[in-house]
Amino acid sequence: MAKQTSINLRKFVIYSIFVRNFTEEGTFKAVVSELDRIKDLGTDIVWFLPMYPIGEKNRKGEDGSPYAIKDYRSVDPNYGTMEDFEELIEEIHKRGMKVMIDIVYNHTSPDSILANEHPDWFYKTAEGHFGNRVGDWSDIVDLDYKHPELWNYQIETLEQWVKRGVDGFRCDVAPLVPIEFWLQAREAVEEINSEVIWLSESVHPGFIRELRSKDMIALSDSEIYQAFDMTYDYDVHDHFELYIEGKIGIEAYIERLKVQDYTYPWNYVKMRNLENHDHLRIRHRIPKDSELMQWTAFTFMQKGSSLIYNGQEVLAEMTPSLFDRDPIDWGSGHDISDFLAKLAHVQKEYVPLDGLYSLEADNDTNTVTLNFKNAQQTFYGVFNLKDSEGSIDFPVADGEYTNLISEEKVTITDGKLDIANTPLALLVNNY
């Protein structure tokens, strides 16, 4: 199904909201007043973490994980009513943005409607009890996709949400569910809306190997692209962390990134992100402003869509709890909203969708050079990830150019570029 994926998705910005912690009120209605600000960031899709009722049995924390879902077809009453959510969808659409919701089809809470009404649809332990195949997920029980009736129920649920105005699905641990299900689900949904966007939370290579060693379904990104438009970049995330921790050089990470461009379908779309609800805030990982801005720009300019996790725009450092009420601290004293909006504008306006894409890195200076080259123009990005000093070879005619991000002038002399502590983006004619 990814054969029909539009590469225009590479220019999309996704803004992720956890309703419980997004505002002091923690409601759908409270989100509405933030939509203009979210739109101004360059956002194309608003993705809501699960907004369904949460199970009580084996609940983690006081409020529970939104991924321990009790009912796929209703909304958490703490957030508001279904009518409130439909009004929120309408307000998002009015601003020209799309709505994506989280779909969690590998498991439910132990006291879910499905567990009570259709216990035969669930995985059972050797003793015949409900269970899960990933040990630390103690607040959920796994579904078993051997049952056609389960497929029908899940697909009907997707169809219901699309009819309510939902434009896309972010599918939690999608590789643990049979690819045949996702193919059938996409085909059914397309009969209602052929433009629905499918994002897979694809998983880390080590997790795939571990699950396969237990004879479990664990789809690779290459397999998941049959049905999905976008996947996470967890296939390279381990190398990113190794670089951040000083265990490998930047060249090793960039070599891993390059593999994506010849491994996946020609129109593959990766969702690039520095943080999400499953990871520490990037401000915690990269505390230095200049380095963080370089990484943020590099993330936006790569081939793929870009994720902003709520609070990232104010450099929030504390990771909100998934299990307890823990509102974002919007008074951090920082605000990079204008910078994010600028990056989104540059990416949408100047980065070509066609032509050759290349990445190069230098361990000595900790710089990455990116370019997109088509017949007419070449877009260059240069990112100094460790506040290094010096110069790099730069294959552009000598002269003065404008940095599209900072709007400052930069000079190329004798084929050399002095690296700076601000990210660089140039558009150069090829003639």
Q: Residue 262 is part of which domain span?
A: 2-351
Contact between residue 145 and residue 122 where contact means Cβ atoms under 8 Å apart: no
DSSP states of 346-374 = HHHHHS-SSSEEEEEEETTTTEEEEEEE-
Of 371, 379, 385, which is closest to residue 420 (Cα–Cα)? 385
Angle at 251 between CA 247 and CA 255, to 5 degrees: 110
Residues 6 or more apart whose Cβ sits within 8 Å of residue 335: 313, 314
Residues 344, 384 within the same domain: no
Residues 265, 393 within the same domain: no
Residues 278, 372 within the same domain: no
pLDDT confidence of residue 3: 79
Contact between residue 28 and residue 85 where contact means Cβ atoms under 8 Å apart: yes
Radius of gyration of the chain (CA): 22
Residues 6 or more apart whose Cβ sits within 8 Å of residue 382: 367, 368, 369, 370, 392, 394, 417, 419, 423, 424
Residues 413, 284 within the same domain: no
**Which of 333, 351, 369 is a domain's end point?**
351
**Which of 304, 326, 351 is a domain's end point?**
351
Residues 53, 111 within the same domain: yes
Residues 71, 206 within the same domain: yes
Return the axis-axis angle of helices 250-263 and 234-244, rounded to nearest 10°: 170
pLDDT confidence of residue 1: 47
Residues 232, 379 within the same domain: no
Residues 288, 372 within the same domain: no
Looking at the DSSP bridge assignments, the partners of residue 428 are 378
Residues 237, 265 within the same domain: yes
Q: What is the H or E stretch that residue 344 is in?
A: helix 337-350
pLDDT confidence of residue 126: 85
Number of folded domains that form the chain: 2
Residues 171, 211 within the same domain: yes
Locate all alpha helices (DSSP H) within 17-134, ordered by sequence. Answer: 19-22, 28-32, 35-40, 82-94, 113-117
Residues 6 or more apart whose Cβ sits within 8 Å of residue 56: 64, 70, 109, 111
Residues 318, 392 within the same domain: no
**Which of 327, 351, 375 is a domain's end point?**
351
CA-CA distance, 137 to 141, in Å (whole number)? 8
Looking at the DSSP bridge assignments, the partners of residue 13 are 306
Q: Look-up: residue for tokens 């520490």?
A: 280
Q: Note the Cα 201 to chain centre separation in Å.
A: 8
One-letter identity of residue 42: G
CA-CA distance, 348 to 379, in Å (whole number)? 12
- Written as tens digits, the pLDDT of the chain (431 aa) is 477 899 999 999 999 999 999 999 999 999 999 999 999 999 999 999 999 999 999 999 999 999 999 999 999 999 999 999 999 999 999 999 999 999 999 999 999 999 999 999 999 988 989 998 887 788 999 999 999 999 999 999 999 999 999 999 999 999 999 999 999 999 999 999 999 999 999 999 999 999 999 899 999 999 999 999 999 999 999 999 999 999 999 999 999 999 999 999 999 999 999 999 999 999 999 999 999 999 999 999 999 999 999 999 999 998 889 999 999 999 989 999 999 999 999 999 999 998 899 999 999 999 999 999 998 999 999 999 999 999 999 989 999 999 999 999 999 999 999 998 999 999 998 87
CA-CA distance, 120 to 315, in Å (whole number)? 46
Q: CATH no. for residue 298?
A: 3.20.20.80
CA-CA distance, 32 to 10, in Å (whole number)? 26
Label residue 398 exposed, middle or buried (CB < 10 Å: 0-12, 13-18, 19+): exposed
Q: CATH no. for residue 386?
A: 2.60.40.1180
C-alpha distances in Å from residue 42, one per residue of 25, 113, 300: 25, 38, 11
User: What stretches of 118-224 adopt beta strand conformation (E)?
Assistant: 141-142, 168-171, 197-200
pLDDT confidence of residue 4: 87
Residues 8, 40 within the same domain: yes
